[in-house]
Amino acid sequence: MKSLKLPDSPSVTKPDAQGRLCAPSAERNKDAIAEVLGNVMPETGGVLEIASGTGQHIVHFAECFPNLNWLPTDMDPERLKSIQAYKDHAALPNLYDPMPLDASHPDWPVHNCDAILVVNLFHLISEDSARAILRNISNALAPHAPLIIYGPFMRAGELTSEGDEAFHHSLVKQDPSIGYKDDFDMAEWLMDVWLEPETFLDMPSNNLCIIARKS
């Protein structure tokens, strides 16, 4: 993924003394996402997070759900270092070391995941990459296991706030192939790879949480 200028970019460019990066948006939305996870996640099993970013989310979720084992992944070396630093600081027995993963490539080293989580990714990648990732997710999920996607999306082809319009157009200006995906398109792409859309939840700051399940 090419380097993009994002609203949180200035705050995550310099790690702290332990190597941890900090995204204010992750601190703001982690509790709201955890509340959704509490209604969707299995009681036990292994959860794969795609594009774990700074590592703030997965540490929080591992603390909230100690009976689940959490595997963070990312393809950016700096983010992997940050995730490792958060993991080492938290010292949680149910949080694994981060694994390098380009989720758009089909050769995943993990299979039969009991749940997969994707936060704030799809607006930063192309349609081709998004559909490839969904296909790979379908192959990696255990039967009937949930996929949880969180982030900003269009609603029926429309950008529904001034902030969303500004952010979407700033992304497209940097790379015409990326930007907000439409909720209707996401439902279609999910069904194309045998992932059944279950719920579309409105979240704070005009974000959306999409819950789908492996058929």
For 183-212, what is each residue's pLDDT tens digit? 999 999 999 999 999 999 999 999 999 999
CA of 213: how far to CAs of 94, 136, 146, in Å? 23, 14, 4
CATH architecture, domain 23-214: 3-Layer(aba) Sandwich (3.40)
Domain spans in the chain, listed from the N-terminal domain onward = 23-214
Which residues make Cβ contacts (< 8 Å) with residue 197, sequence separation at least 6?
A: 186, 187, 190, 191, 210, 211, 212
pTM (2 decimals)?
0.95
For 62-85, what is each residue's pLDDT tens digit? 999 999 999 999 999 999 999 999
For 85-102, what is each residue's pLDDT tens digit? 999 999 999 999 999 999
**Per-residue confidence (pLDDT) for residue 10, from 0 to 100:** 43
Q: What percent of the chain has pLDDT over 90?
A: 90
